[in-house]
């Protein structure tokens, strides 16, 4: 659904985003999402061993299934900061809770930015009042702007649907362009909905939707310490609360997944330095895990990614990547396509003009299909190419 | 040992390298290594599922433990070329065998270059005579030049030692700059020695030496279809043949390993676009495999590699890479060093001036040490950084 960014609202939710000086001057870096009433909450987090302080805190709090606010800063990840970092995260939530007059445990927190530096806590605490005063229904776009780091554009997705006689809104925001890999391929994403839904049901739903969206993309194969997806459902739509046995659950899940898929693709398209998106589909695998292994082996090969950047018809690098994936792919049965163009079958290349391959590689979206001929399982993932700009952006990130 | 390239010789071996037009004009692309007598031979090959034709052929022939010649072309990998490609590889060896007057099965073959294109077999066959006529003891340097692709300098290592009263020479050549990862981190390497050694003993020795050298480096985490290491030992030194129970075997193994380590480091230093070498040592792991997993997670992280290129003191990316390695590293006990500089301990960063970190990162060789505090096993690997030139070199490789 096409709406202007400033007009995006979800009944019962307020948001704000301001500049407090964590990032360079002129950039928003602190955001607050707030539900007028305590909302049902669920979260999915990074599997990195070194989880950021915010992740550790949220994992504890979200277990209770309820939350009312999320405070988010960009410019500092508050990761690899030890016990002090954890205390900083707690203080952030406490400042919000006190100012609003709700319990600490109803406030969640997320951080993104440089790893290993203490959070400039005072700057944040000093601006909590401004943040709360600035809350408004149309503040979601400001909040999105404040959570961006190397993102080159904001990522907001918006869906409307009905549940029974009630109109329901789902709105997701996300940030992320680098450190993007499987198992939470986003840095941060927050989904606000006025749907009424039971906590256990929301948790299961979010996990499935994340598996089908954020867990199907890769920019650089690097897993972050801070990946966080949080959904708040405040029930303001007044629908009969969704449960695992609701007939309408499936339609809500489809809308939610669709919203997250939109955000996930937006992240790949905005992958650091990306000039194109590569959609990799692996079919005919014995297991879904095998299909994913092969797809990610292609997606994370620097040689494949640079070839796509240069529009170099060097499809042999894809063959090499598949062969190194750890799946015993039979050369005789495997086939490789760029769009509908067959490039490899029965163990060797098909005579195709270089120009035809190049013209496919020039597209903004290139579909790579691999048929393994081993079984019936498949997987599809999206990745970006590897350009000079990826190196430029990442060679001087902190300085 | 420092010798001028043109002066490198190994008793009983002849070599040559010429230009036959597989690569662009002015570049040698066909090499021949020849032993005056049948030599004991052993090989280690890529684990890629899609093995090049030359690899498939060599794996069969080397089992017999004897070889007398190796023909090598650069500019075309003869991989993903099916049965026709295999026949081409056989034809290459047959042309050499006939011209010299030895059995086909005594000739090995290796190829490197673009994957997925048929070999220009005629160009090769037409020049076999020139190749054989050009054989000379000092031809090793020409052969090395002819096997290079994106290498920016030749890689030759030379060791002399004595076994009993006999002087023994070990000379290794290698090519490789990209598609460099564990499990044969070289594209091609050939080692010539006049030592006398039993075949089973040589095979075991080569495997161990490769594990300690070529299997400890990474440029881009991409595993090739063509990786090949072949050793020929012609016995011309006249030493009492080495067996598994020889007292002197250990010294020979050390010299061989040292030679291969020299080649391996030379490959990393010449990694596509590399501006520095990063030596990653992981200590205190429960198993060697865990230590290697953590080391490679760091070595293959594009974010870590670009940070080293930019001398960006962003050590938090190493923490993120370690945390994603699949090893349950305890944050509390882990420590991270750049050279002797402690950067992380007890779960958080140590206050170190940015300038001190930057000055370490400016070095040609940066030592990264990770102490896991989980056990007593360790691993050390070498990798290169990720620069603009890596992208430049690989975005337009075939065109």
| Alpha-helical segments (H) within chain B | 53-62, 82-100, 121-126, 128-133, 140-147, 199-211, 249-269, 288-299, 302-309, 316-323, 354-361, 388-395
Determine, for residues A391 and B396 on separate chains, whether the beta-carbon distance falls below 8 Å: no
CB neighbours of residue B325 within 10 Å: 21
| Interface test with chain B among A48, A55, A77, A80, by most B beta carbons within 10 Å | A80
Nearest to A194 by CA among A227, A222, A228, A168: A168
Residue A43 is predicted with a pLDDT of: 92
Three-state SS annotation for chain A: CCCCHHHCCCCCEEEEEECCCCCCCCCCCEEEEEEEEEEEEEEEECCCCCCCHHHHHHHHHHCCCEEEEEEEEEEECCCCEHHHHHHHHHHHHHHHHHHHCCCHHHEEEEEEEECCCCCCHHHHHHCHHHHHHCCEHHHHHHHHHHHCCCCCCCEEEEEEEEECCEEEEEEEEEECCCCCCCCCCCCEEEEEECCCECHHHHHHHHHHHHHCCHHHEECCCCCCCCCEEEEEECCCCCCCCECCCCCCHHHHHHHHHHHHHHHHHHHHHCCCCCCCEEEEEEEEECCHHHHHHHHHHHHCCHHHHHHHHCCCCCCHHHHHHHHCCCCCCCCCCCEEEECCEEEEECCEECCCCHHHHHHHHCCCEEEEEEECCCCCEEEEEEEECCCHHHHHHHHCCCC
* CB interface of A with B, residues 48-87, below 8 Å: 48-51, 77, 79-85
Closest CA in chain A for residue B51: A323
Write B26-30 long-range contacts (CB < 8 A, 24+).
Answer: B28/B142, B28/B145, B28/B146, B29/B73, B29/B74, B29/B75, B29/B146, B30/B71, B30/B72, B30/B73, B30/B74, B30/B124, B30/B127, B30/B131, B30/B146
- DSSP helix/strand/coil, B246: coil
Residue A347 is predicted with a pLDDT of: 86
Residues 6+ apart with CB under 8 A from A256: A159, A170, A191, A193, A205, A206, A209, A231
- Residues A303-312, buried b or exposed e (16+ Cβ, 10 A)? bbbbbbbbbb
Mean pLDDT of B6-27: 91
Residue B217 is predicted with a pLDDT of: 78
User: Quick check: B156 pLDDT over 80?
Assistant: yes
Q: Tens of pLDDT along A87-137? A: 999 999 999 999 999 999 999 999 998 888 899 999 999 999 999 999 999
Mean pLDDT of B380-398: 74
CB neighbours of residue B356 within 10 Å: 14
**Chain B environment of A301 (Cβ under 8 Å):** 221-222
Which parts of chain A have pLDDT scores under 70? Answer: 1-6, 177-187, 219-223, 390, 393-399
* Interface predicted TM-score (ipTM) of this complex, two decimals: 0.71
* CB interface of A with B, residues 103-122, below 8 Å: 114-117
User: Quick check: B398 pLDDT over 60?
Assistant: no
Residue with tokens 């030596």: B279
| Interface test with chain A among B116, B179, B312, B370, by most A beta carbons within 10 Å | B116
* CB interface of A with B, residues 165-184, below 8 Å: 178-179, 181
B222 at interface of A, judged by CB pairs closer than 8 A: yes
CA distance B177 to chain A (A): 12
Determine, for residues A83 and B347 on separate chains, whether the beta-carbon distance falls below 8 Å: yes
Residue B1 is predicted with a pLDDT of: 42
Residue A178 is predicted with a pLDDT of: 60
Q: Please tell me which residue in A149, A169, A186, A257 is annotated as part of the active site.
A: A186
The reply to whether A306 belongs to the active site is no
Closest CA in chain B for residue A219: B302
User: Quick check: B397 pLDDT over 90?
Assistant: no
Residue A124 is predicted with a pLDDT of: 97
Determine, for residues A314 and B398 on separate chains, whether the beta-carbon distance falls below 8 Å: yes
Of A302, A317, A398, the CB nearest to B115: A317
**Chain B environment of A47 (Cβ under 8 Å):** 324
CA distance B224 to chain A (A): 6
- Show the CA angle centred on residue B117, arms to residues B114 and B122, nearest 5°: 105
A390 at interface of B, judged by CB pairs closer than 8 A: yes
Of residues B286 and B23, more confidently modeled: B286
Of residues B115 and B16, more confidently modeled: B16
Residue B86 is predicted with a pLDDT of: 96
Determine, for residues B306 and A398 on separate chains, whether the beta-carbon distance falls below 8 Å: no
The correct answer on CATH 1.10.3720.10 for the domain covering B277-395 is no
Average pLDDT, chain B: 88
A-to-B residue pairs, Cβ atoms closer than 8 angstroms: 239
State what percent of residues in chain B have pLDDT above 90: 57
B30-45/B66-76 β-pairing: antiparallel
Of B223, B312, B322, the CB nearest to A50: B322
CA distance B393 to chain A (A): 9
- DSSP helix/strand/coil, B205: helix
Q: Tens of pLDDT along B204-259? A: 999 999 988 888 877 655 567 788 889 999 999 999 999 999 999 999 999 999 99
Determine, for residues A48 and B314 on separate chains, whether the beta-carbon distance falls below 8 Å: no
Of B50, B81, B329, the CB nearest to A323: B50
The correct answer on CATH 3.60.70.12 for the domain covering A5-269 is yes
- Assess whether the region A5-269 and the region A277-395 belong to the same CATH fold: no
Most trustworthy range by pLDDT among A161-175, A331-345, B91-105, B155-169: B91-105
Domain range list for chain A: 5-269, 277-395
Nearest to B346 by CA among B332, B359, B360: B332
């Amino acid at each position: 659904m096409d709406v202007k960014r400033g007009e995006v609202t979800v009944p019962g939710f307020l948001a704000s985003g301001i500049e407090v000086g964590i990032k360079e001057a002129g950039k928003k870096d602190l955001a607050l999402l707030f539900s007028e009433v305590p909302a049902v909450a669920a979260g999915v987090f990074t599997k990195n061993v070194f989880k950021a302080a915010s992740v550790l805190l949220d994992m504890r709090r979200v277990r209770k299934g309820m939350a009312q606010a999320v405070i988010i800063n960009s410019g500092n990840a508050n990761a690899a900061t030890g016990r002090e970092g954890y205390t900083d995260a707690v203080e952030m939530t406490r400042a919000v809770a006190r100012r609003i007059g709700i319990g600490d445990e109803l406030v969640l927190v997320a951080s993104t930015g440089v790893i290993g530096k203490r959070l400039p806590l005072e700057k944040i605490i000093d601006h909590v009042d401004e943040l709360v005063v600035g809350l408004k229904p149309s503040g979601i776009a400001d909040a999105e702007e404040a959570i961006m780091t190397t993102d080159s554009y904001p990522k907001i997705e918006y869906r409307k649907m009905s549940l029974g006689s009630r109109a329901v809104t789902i709105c997701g925001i996300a940030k992320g362009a680098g450190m993007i890999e499987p198992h939470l391929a986003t840095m941060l994403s927050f989904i606000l909905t006025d749907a009424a839904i039971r906590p256990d049901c929301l948790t299961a739903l979010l996990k499935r939707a994340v598996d089908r969206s954020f867990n199907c993309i890769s920019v650089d194969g690097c897993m972050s310490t801070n990946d966080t997806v949080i959904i708040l459902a405040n029930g303001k739509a007044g629908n009969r609360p969704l449960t695992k046995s609701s007939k309408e659950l499936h339609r809500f899940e489809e809308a939610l997944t669709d919203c997250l898929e939109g955000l996930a693709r937006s992240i790949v398209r905005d992958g650091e330095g990306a000039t194109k998106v590569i959609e990799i589909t692996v079919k005919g695998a014995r297991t879904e895990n095998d299909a994913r292994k092969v797809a990610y082996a292609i997606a994370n090969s620097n040689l494949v990614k640079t070839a796509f950047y240069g529009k170099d018809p060097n499809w042999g690098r894809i063959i090499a990547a598949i062969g190194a994936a750890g799946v015993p792919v039979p050369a005789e049965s495997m086939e490789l396509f760029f769009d509908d163009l067959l490039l490899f079958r029965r163990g060797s290349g098909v005579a195709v003009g270089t120009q035809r391959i190049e013209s496919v590689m020039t597209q903004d979206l290139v579909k790579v299909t691999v048929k393994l001929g081993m079984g019936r399982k498949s997987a599809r993932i999206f990745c970006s190419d590897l350009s000079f700009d990826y190196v430029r952006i990442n060679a001087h990130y902190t300085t």
